[in-house]
Amino acid sequence: MDFTLLSSPLQGFTDFRFRNAINTYFGGIDTYYSPYIRLNGKMVIKSSYERDLLPENNLGLEVIPQVITNDAEEFLFVAKYVRELGYKELNWNLGCPYPMVTKSGMGSGLISNTEKINTILERAHAETDIIVSMKMRLGYETTQEILDVFPILDQYPLKILPSTRVLENNCTKWCAFRCFSSLS
Ligand SMILES: Cc1cc2nc3c(=O)[nH]c(=O)nc-3n(C[C@H](O)[C@H](O)[C@H](O)COP(=O)(O)O)c2cc1C
């Protein structure tokens, strides 16, 4: 069977050291998603993020950088930064469920804000040539959230990476996931 193996990002674990070690001693991963860049309002890329993404620290690896933000300027800043490093794609995190993130309207806390999602996608497509992919849950509170986002996503050429851990109730989670698969 032909398949593609993607390495999901884990902040604090799957940095360039991890990626190089896995690639050297095991191999088999087609694409590594890097842990997210979070700017917190300052248009500055921290040195730890820079080290993680520098091409010389990722030789021979297929890496896709990730950003977490609800701000169009931040998104564009990071998109331009990663383009300058030679990356073609930027993954946008709309999956993170941690309260520290969701309370600020980011990660899965952004899924219900269709207007902001639209603004960011519109500007990303108008002002950069970056390929945008999104790691998304079905919603933060309910699975209706993603259904409300679909008409917006339909307007853009996007890749969606489903994240299945959406609700406490496992039955709802998997039923909803099947519904999502058939729609995408
Ligand atoms: C410590 C930790 C850090 C994580 N950091 C990120 C991250 O930076 N970006 C991201 O998209 N997901 C992050 N995740 C989520 C994981 O990539 C993954 O989607 C999640 O653990 C669910 O995976 P599973 O369905 O295989 O259990 C993190 C998860 C953990 C436990």
The domains of the chain, with CATH numbers, are 6-183 (3.20.20.70)
Task: Report whether pLDDT(183) > 50.
Answer: no
Give the residue from 28, 156, 9 showing the smallest Cα distance to 91.
9
Q: What is the H or E stretch that residue 170 is in?
A: helix 170-183
Nearest CA to ligand 1 atom 6: 10
What is the arithmetic mean of pLDDT over 121-134?
95
pLDDT at 143: 86
DSSP string for 73-87:
HHHHHHHHHHHHTT-
CB 169 within 8 A of CB 141: no
Nearest CA to ligand 1 atom 29: 10
**% of the chain at pLDDT higher than 90:** 76
Better-scored residue on pLDDT, 113 or 174: 113
Query: In which band, very low, low, confident or very high, does the pLDDT at 90 lie, cut at 50, 70 and 90?
Result: very high
The amino acid at residue 108 is S
CB 6 within 8 A of CB 30: yes
Q: Please give all residues whose beta carbon lies within 6 A of any atom in ligand 1, as ranges.
A: 8-12, 35-36, 66, 93, 95, 135, 163-165
> What are 32-67's pLDDT values in tens digits?
999 999 998 899 999 999 999 999 999 999 999 999
Task: Report whether pLDDT(131) > 80.
Answer: yes
Q: Ligand 1, closest atom to CA 36?
A: 8
Q: Are strands 6-7 and 131-136 parallel, antiparallel or unpaired?
A: unpaired
Q: Considering just the CA atoms, what is the radius of gyration of the chain in Å? A: 16
User: What value does the mean pLDDT of the chain take?
Assistant: 89
Better-scored residue on pLDDT, 137 or 15: 15
What is the arithmetic mean of pLDDT over 135-159?
90
